[in-house]
Structure 1
């Protein structure tokens, strides 16, 4: 694991409790996100195991579990995983890196990666695509969300806590290529502006399918 990932892990460990208190209910204010997640669950089917990759405090994992699927949250930060386990005992949570996911080949029938790829360097996106495809069954859907742009925003302070974390913004074609080049097929692609309570960025959503 790279030093950059170590910094991300420590940063999210530091803000885990604050993150949960501030953002645990954010889906209430995100109708488009809920609609896309519902579409993913419907495509996967109620018998599927759905992974929430970069699950944070587990609020999206809990939403998925509430729709009747078996939900598994995975996050780089053990602090976030501890918060998620306490907040959402009906789901399973694991600590792990997006480039080395703690999951068996083809374990998941669907997955979401909402704003988790943004902590990877652009050069790491292809390897992440390979790993995402490895843990998904053939034909399984994947929902990805990232911030659009070409900048890197660095935080050394977050909600009053010292951190060391970069947020990478990506061009849409960069993310599309990283996924399609390793065997995903794009089913839907859309952009939206930020909601009033969010950081002001333009966001990309990709619904892709493991074509293998």
Structure 2
């Protein structure tokens, strides 16, 4: 594991319980985010490719009940073992595992869709193509990807210190243009994009992108998997 990934994992291990408290009930107060997730759920169910979806970078697991209530069967994965622990504790009816966005534990074209909710913002430039390629690899042609992200200029930022828990990590707030380009290059076609202005203590606007998987691909990590 590289130093940046190790730092990110350790930081989020230390922030897990903090995020449990911070995000409790957050989705109920965000009609825009519910609307985007509901559109993803409706399209995924209508596609008839099954109900299995990956919640990639699931954090505390808070989206799982919402996805399930809208007809999907989510499986959450997160880099942080402590995030996975609290997700399993608080949402015991769902599956959660430790995994890296750049090397997902799903078979090729095995998911009807994938949710990447504020989890791509930790990807440094060199890792973005592989990560979005992994999302494309695991989603069936005709399936859907939905992402939420903090819109910015893509420059690295040191985050974490403001919460007073002795953690720091790099984050990257990507522009809507780069997000759409990454998704398109990986093999998706944009269905919906949108955003909203920053609210209250938010430092940046929030962006949303929903895309449909088009051509089949084995993804950039396929050769490595075949060799295992």
Runs of 4+ more than 2 Å apart? 155-160
Unaligned runs of 5+ in 1: none
Q: How does 1:1-212 map to 2 (within 5 A)?
A: 1-45=1-45, 47-150=50-153, 151-196=155-200, 199-212=202-215
Distance of 1:155 and 1:130 partners within structure 2:
26
Distance of 1:5 and 1:80 partners within structure 2:
15
Distance 1:86 1:189, change over 3 A: same
Distance 1:82 1:158, change over 3 A: farther
Distance of 1:29 and 1:167 partners within structure 2:
25
RMSD, aligned α-carbons = 1.5
Shift of 1:145: 1.5
Q: How many residue pairs align between the two structures?
A: 211
Unaligned runs of 5+ in 2: 216-228
Distance of 2:94 and 2:158 partners within structure 1:
32
Larger radius of gyration: 2
Tell me if the contact between 2:42 and 2:70 (Cα under 8 Å) persists in the aligned partners: no
**TM-score, with structure 2 as normaliser:** 0.87
